[in-house]
Amino acid sequence: MFEGKSFLVTGGTGSFGNKVLKRLLNLGVSKVAVLSRDEKKQYDMRASVRDSRVKFLIGDVRDRRSVDDAMRGVDFVFHAAALKQVPICENFPLQAANTNIFGASNVLRSASEHGVQRVIVLSTDKAVYPINAMGLSKAMMEKLMVAEAMRNRDLGLDTITSGTRYGNVIASRGSVVPLFINQIKNGQEITITDPTMTRFLMSLEEAVDLVIKSFCDAESGDIHVHKSPAATVATIAKALQKLIGAEKPIRIIGVRPGEKFHETLVSSEEMAVAQDIGKFYRVPLNGEVVNHEPVPYTSANTDRLTVDQVCDIFENTKEVKDLL
């Protein structure tokens, strides 16, 4: 499915884009087009990759023309372009809608019209029972993906649209791990919203594994979810203090607007039809009820990590090791 094929990665200069690019090149693809609007990140990425199969395209998913230009001759699409930080989306909800909803619509419709074989959209746990602008916009992106799947089926089009959903990616930009490491190293107190707040933890490698899994096994309109352990914010802070060897005072700053105490990866309604496939759940477009007493899959009821377990994960996560 990869050998000699061409891929488009929207938002390809982000954390996920950099990681999946290396995976795709190792799988023998013929071309990877990276679409993003940040020329500085493209410059840095071009200097580090140095592979003639990688094509860099300046453009914005909000602009249908630049999306159409990028889509020509493409076999498969990974749609990663998004506004992802909860506080920013809370302050600028219309910007979140323009990128996460209307931008996704441009990508999905353009892919169908250009005969792309498969489109995988990347979503988030915050899209389940959403309470913030980022989650709401991502939930709408998922609905657009499902609607496009049904439209393509009705029109007899071959483009498969599918989605993935995952929780916090360890050490991604804007996450608590880089923040806590910076505060500890600079001798500052650690700022925690609430020590009992829980978050799913997964590595960038696992995020790429999930997208590749969805890509290989996708049926139109379904969503793949990676089963992930979780930890409290306090546990994450204690693990980083232990790894760095410096204890700093913790200051509780309170929950920020739009934040949940616990995140949900699969709703109870989805768990009624979800298929358990080892490390993953698959939520099909039209699934039969397999669980008559469904319980949502949340960061409060998944495997809970200890400080030592979080330390082990961080010590085996390249992005955290680089920061440390």
Supply the residues annotated as catalytic. Answer: 126
Calculate helix-pair angle for 233-244, 307-315, nearest 10 degrees: 60
CA–CA separation, 188 and 181 (whole Å):
10
250 neighbors 209 (Cβ within 8 angstroms):
no
Residue type, 112: S
Nearest residue to 195 via CA among 308, 307, 91: 307
DSSP string, 27-73: TT-SEEEEEES-HHHHHHHHHHH--TTEEEEE--TT-HHHHHHHHTT
Q: Coil, strand, or helix at residue 244?
A: helix
CA–CA separation, 30 and 28 (whole Å):
7
Q: Report the Cα 62 to chain-centroid distance in Å.
A: 19
DSSP state of 102: I
Write the CB contacts of 78 (distance below 8 Å, at least 6 apart in sequence).
7, 8, 9, 10, 20, 120, 122, 211, 215
DSSP state of 290: -
